[in-house]
Structure 1
Amino acid sequence: MFSLELVPVLQSAINATQKENRDSFEDLLTKLQFFFPDNLILSALDLIDRENVIKYTTPWGTTRFQVFGSTPGSSYSVFPNISCNAAAVSVYCSCPAFAYSTLKSDSQLMCKHLLAAQLAPQLGKCIERSLGPDDLASLIASQYSASMLSTSDNA
């Protein structure tokens, strides 16, 4: 139903929004309604309002996001720009909704975590942190451990 080729169009629409201009925010909401159902937009904006979006930047310029989910203890790795010629997708979130709704069933363009990571920096509502190599390894290890724990709980 959706094509991941629409992601650059969506990113252009988001980037055209000015942070301080309320009219631009209303315009952004109108544009987002073209791509997403209202409940997904509201869920992403709720994550942003709760300050659940953290942007990590490494010394070598790589950017990744961590978005805390709606349920306590849930945290997802979000990559809004994957630049790899071999990749079938240009965006990625580690949440189950992205795997199912975007990758498997192709029923939506992205999940609420990915949309929140796209919107938060543009709206000036993103927590920014720099991340060294050891910090990055520790963050990935903790997220891997958390995902393994939740997988064993479901078994």
Structure 2
Amino acid sequence: MSASSLAAEAVWKDIESTRSVTDDQLSILHFLFGKNFERATRIVDQRGVKRISGEPSGRFVFQVMGESQRKEEYFCFAENYCACYSFFYDIVNRGEQLCCKHQLAARLALSLGVFIEVKVSDEQLAVLLSKL
């Protein structure tokens, strides 16, 4: 794990423990993630993050609103996958970013507890994930 990833992880854990974010934490995350973090905060402010949880397992995936005119939504796992183009182009292919704005929005919403909760059966969650 890179030094940037370790620093980000420490900040996320602090935010999760208090369910609030300080100006210093915002500055660190902005330094690490730049414009992607700014975009992620806008998505969270617009209540654009849903956590789709399967029952009874409790497994979940995030559905995060995009910022384009089409208002697409992307399925993602906050720490290691997003279905958006940027994830494959900037992160997987070019290695230029640590994560995309949708992953950041999911992680921020989870850390602050400000996502929209959608409960489905484990079977429904499995079908949803099979389409990724």
Moved over 6 A (4+): none
Equivalent position of 1:42 in the other structure = 38
Q: Structure 1 regions of 5+ residues with no counterpart?
A: 82-90, 145-155
Q: Deviations over 1:57-101 (max 9, x none)?
A: 2221312111011122411111124xxxxxxxxx11110001111
- As a proportion of its length, which structure holds more strand? 2
Percent identity between the two aligned chains? 30
8 A contact 2:87–2:99 mirrored in 1:
yes
Q: TM-score scaled by structure 2?
A: 0.82
d(CA) in 2 for partners of 1:27 and 1:65?
A: 26
RMSD after superposition: 2.2
Paired position in structure 2 for 1:122? 111
Q: What is aligned with 2:78?
A: 80
CA shift in 2, pair 1:60/1:5, >3 Å: farther
Q: How many residue pairs were aligned?
A: 128
Q: Distance in 1 between matches of 2:59 and 2:23?
A: 31
Which residue of 92, 98, 106 maps to 2:81? 92
Residue 10 of structure 1, CA deviation: 1.8
| Secondary structure of the corresponding residue to residue 67 of structure 1 | strand
Greater CA radius of gyration, 1 or 2?
A: 1
Paired position in structure 2 for 1:55: 51
- Structure 2 residue ranges without an equivalent (≥5): none
| 2:19 aligned residue | 19
CA distance in 1, matches of 2:24, 2:122: 39
Contact 2:74 2:82 in 1 (8 A): yes
TM-score, length basis structure 1? 0.71
